[in-house]
Structure formats: C-alpha cells, structure tokens
C-alpha cells in the first residue's frame, strides 16, 4: 500500500507532504479521526496476532466464547455488528483449529452455543498478551488517565444505554 502518516514525512522536494493538510477542518472531524484511529489500531492488532495465525475478528469471537457467557451465534452477530453469515465463517475457522466447539442449545435446538476448548483458552491467553502490547503501541501518545477517559467516552457512544461499566482498560 502507501501507508501514510508515520514515516511518510518530508519526501518530495517541494516540502509538500500529507502532514501539511493537518491544518484542515477535516483534522477535527470526529468520524475522520475515528477512521484513522481505527485503521491504526487494527493494523497494529493484526500485525501482533499474525504470529499466532489469528485475525482480530476471530480473536473477538474467541474472547467472547471464553468468558463463560455461552454466547449463541446470533448474539455474537449482534454484539460484533457482523452479519450472521460472517459469524459462521469465523466459528468454522476457530472450530477447525480446535479452539471452540458448537453446542446445540437443548432448550432451542436451532441455536448453537459457542464454547471454548482448553486449547482455545490457552490460545486466548497468548493472544491477549499480544493484543495488549499492540494496544500500548497504538495508544502510546496517551497517559493511562487519558486512555481511561477515552474508554469512558467511547463506551458512552457505543453503548448509549449507559450501563455502569468499569472501563477496565483491557486494551
């Protein structure tokens, strides 16, 4: 690609780089900032997870499966804002790998509960270490207090219902 930003400064003889445009009103546009922040943080997360053959989507599913919540595929779809058909592919991948299993819910046999295997739990622990390091890199310019504040603000946007969350800075 052409991955601007970090190392792309001062290249051409004209002194014109993308940095010059940071004076634009766009630099204060929240959706634009979300897009750039997300791109950078998922790039770091992907790079970190690559060494154990995971992607962030699969990591999210694995994490949700490992917390004792016994999620159905439908719930995963809703919470991750992904289409049910995408969950199928993600669970297929994790199941092939022996990290999770599908269990038919005895109370409604249409639903499949996603459960972790011991190997899945081990994989998650490894992944969480890598993710934490990646997130530290993504948020390196923020203090711990600033990260916590950012976490609270983002949760207010994403979960406007406003359940009293603890902002535990897992990432």
Partner DNA sequence: TATTGTTATACTCTATAACTATA
Partner DNA sequence: TATAGTTATAGAGTATAACAATA
Return the number of other C-beta atoms located less than 10 Å from residue 3's C-beta.
10
Longest dimension (CA), the chain: 69
Q: Which of residues 112-141 bind its own copies (CB under 8 A)?
A: 131, 135, 138-141
Phi-psi map region of 165: left, alpha, beta (phi>0 left; psi -120 to 50 alpha): beta
The H-assigned helical ranges of the chain are 30-50, 56-65, 73-79, 84-96, 118-138, 144-158
Q: Which is nearer to DNA, 111 or 117 (CB)?
A: 111
Binding mask 44-73 for its own copies (x = CB under 8 A): -x----------x---x--xx--x-x-xx-
Binding mask 1-30 for DNA (x = CB under 7 A): xxx-------xx------------------
Binding mask of the shown chain, residues 69 to 108, with x at each position contacting its own copies by CB under 8 A: x-xx-xxxxxxxxxxx--------------------x-xx
């Amino acid at each position: 690609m052409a991955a601007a930003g970090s190392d792309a400064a001062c290249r051409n003889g004209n002194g014109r780089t993308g940095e010059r445009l940071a004076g634009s009103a766009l630099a204060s546009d929240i959706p634009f900032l979300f897009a750039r922040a997300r791109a950078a943080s998922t790039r770091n997360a992907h790079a970190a997870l690559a060494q154990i053959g995971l992607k962030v989507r699969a990591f999210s599913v694995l994490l949700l499966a490992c917390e004792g919540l016994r999620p159905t595929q439908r719930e995963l779809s809703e919470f991750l804002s992904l289409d049910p058909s995408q969950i199928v592919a993600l669970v297929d991948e994790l199941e092939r790998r022996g990290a999770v299993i599908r269990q038919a819910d005895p109370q409604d046999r249409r639903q499949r509960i996603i459960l972790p295997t011991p190997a899945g739990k081990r994989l998650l622990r490894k992944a969480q270490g890598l993710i934490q390091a990646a997130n530290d890199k993504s948020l390196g310019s923020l203090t711990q207090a600033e990260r916590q504040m950012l976490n609270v603000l983002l949760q207010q946007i994403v979960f406007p219902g406003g359940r009293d969350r603890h902002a535990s800075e897992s990432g």
